[in-house]
Structure 1
């Protein structure tokens, strides 16, 4: 598990009867793998994690592991309310064949710094899987500070951070303090290119679910030093990337997946498909993006 490159936080596909739609899910995963993504992340916010039961998570992990056939890692997100359930989720992830874990702080309860540290350390000690801490104080109201990472990195299997602080300078602070001991992945689509240029190792991406080739192209071009070519694609992409920084990011991105033929609009209640003026606005952005979709350079 290298914790680098483009890692789609994939959407979970549902049928109109609210069952897992493994047929469409497989189509999307194949598109991601064919585009050259570097890992698959299941059950994140975009994957409607809070609505999935344990059996569904088991099915998704095992099905994805079979689909990718060892070509790329499969990571499962852990977002639980209790330490006990998080440890159980980590045990299950290992049992079902996941390669790594992404972890949020405790859900619903705003834990103190000491509680947050104890939570992460307890799970890390319970599993041999490598862990990426998901640091998103904007949405989840708990920040994992550099001082806290100093303590967490005593756990050898805590390897990376998905940085969603919205603070680009945080990447430099992490590099200055920890060197390459802590891998950094951008967690905000609209800051991806900036983060990669500042030294981030990768991009946990959202709109990649609909546009995998364009997302991978940006990463690979930056890695090859072809910044102007990457910037041209990124500027085209920005109106679409802004669909990721919305409370309705799931509905937005699923609409984009419909446009590119690798998804459906089905969401799980209490979410509903977009309606009215907001649906028209999002569709207009997607339609314009499709009309102006760039020709990608050779990589």
Structure 2
């Protein structure tokens, strides 16, 4: 299906049962909550989806199940996070065969490629598929910065059409627009900078806490795009302690606990991650429950 890189795209959690199997009923429950809130697409197999622990077979299961459940209402995007170019090309082919509408593409995993290697990696994948690609630029977590000069080379490929902007430098939104105009759609990839980047012209939001609070996330996006900044800011201020759960190494455990508390997820994770316990769990649970208690009326 054709779509635009605009709006709210949840980076979906991968729900597990207590014995670490995929929990499809819970997956459907969260998908329905996202649909009901009005999100514009979903991303499967990203960092929040525990990409490093799910198998190719499980990714296929999740992609196909989501496509069947959503029935064309919104696009299903597949994340690619591989260590080798060959494997990434294969994943792009798999995504096409399984019916995904587009790709979110990380730089090579494990090896810190230089600029030339990173560009060649992205180019090789882009020319292997006709699916639209969003480059995930997150030098904070993945140690590789996709610079403006690198994007200048990458946009030779017409299917490289968007960037998930996670540099944590909001001025990069302006630099991208100044350099490329509307050639690349820009989606904020850091929950705690979403309103700032949307106000500066970002087209969308690849969101994390949306997995637990979909309606609030979509409402903020819609209000900003309608120019109702004060109304958006009021919800954003309430949301901020929760959004900060997205910028911690344990974001998966924290956001899964939040989704459990809002009834659209479970806190089970797959090893080596462990569910939270003790004072850490109590501290995160208090942040979540305080947020739920003060949840704004939309």
Q: How does 1:63-74 map to 2 (within 5 A)?
A: 63-74=65-76
Report the Cα distance in structure 2 between the residues aligned to 1:250 and 1:194, rounded to whole angstroms: 24
- Deviation string, structure 1 residues 212-242 (Cα, Å, up to 9, x no partner): 0000000001111111111110000000000
Partner of 2:243: 241
SS at match of 1:49: coil
Report the Cα distance in structure 2 between the residues aligned to 1:19 and 1:40, rounded to whole angstroms: 21
- Deviation string, structure 1 residues 241-296 (Cα, Å, up to 9, x no partner): 00000000000000000111000010000000111211111000001001000001
Report the Cα distance in structure 1 between the residues aligned to 2:282 and 2:247, rounded to whole angstroms: 18
SS at match of 2:5: coil
Partner of 1:97: 99
Partner of 1:223: 225
Is 1:294 aligned to 2:296, yes or no? yes
Report the Cα distance in structure 2 between the residues aligned to 1:15 and 1:265, rounded to whole angstroms: 9
Counterpart selection for 1:155 from 150, 154, 157: 157
- Deviation string, structure 1 residues 155-192 (Cα, Å, up to 9, x no partner): 00000000100000000000000000000000000000
Q: TM-score under structure 1 normalisation?
A: 0.98
Report the Cα distance in structure 2 between the residues aligned to 1:276 and 1:19, rounded to whole angstroms: 25
SS at match of 2:26: helix
- Deviation string, structure 1 residues 122-141 (Cα, Å, up to 9, x no partner): 00000010000000000000
Partner of 1:139: 141
Report the Cα distance in structure 1 between the residues aligned to 2:183 and 2:73, rounded to whole angstroms: 24
- Deviation string, structure 1 residues 42-66 (Cα, Å, up to 9, x no partner): 0000000010111001000000001
Measure how far apart 1:75 and its partner are.
Answer: 0.3
Q: Point out 4+ residue stretches in structure 1 off by more than 6 angstroms.
A: none
Partner of 1:109: 111
SS at match of 1:265: coil
Report the Cα distance in structure 2 between the residues aligned to 1:61 and 1:219, rounded to whole angstroms: 25
Report the Cα distance in structure 2 between the residues aligned to 1:207 and 1:294, rounded to whole angstroms: 15
Measure how far apart 1:20 and its partner are.
Answer: 0.5
Report the Cα distance in structure 2 between the residues aligned to 1:94 and 1:84, rounded to whole angstroms: 16
Partner of 1:185: 187
SS at match of 2:127: helix
- Deviation string, structure 1 residues 100-140 (Cα, Å, up to 9, x no partner): 00000000000010000000000000001000000000000
Report the Cα distance in structure 1 between the residues aligned to 2:204 and 2:279, rounded to whole angstroms: 35
Report the Cα distance in structure 2 between the residues aligned to 1:15 and 1:255, rounded to whole angstroms: 14
Q: TM-score under structure 2 normalisation?
A: 0.99
Is 1:282 aligned to 2:284, yes or no? yes
Partner of 1:208: 210
Task: Name the stretch that deviates more: 274-283 or 253-262.
Answer: 274-283
Partner of 2:124: 122
Is 1:268 aligned to 2:270, yes or no? yes
Measure how far apart 1:198 and its partner are.
Answer: 0.5
SS at match of 1:280: helix
SS at match of 2:89: helix
- Deviation string, structure 1 residues 11-45 (Cα, Å, up to 9, x no partner): 00111111110000000000001100000000000
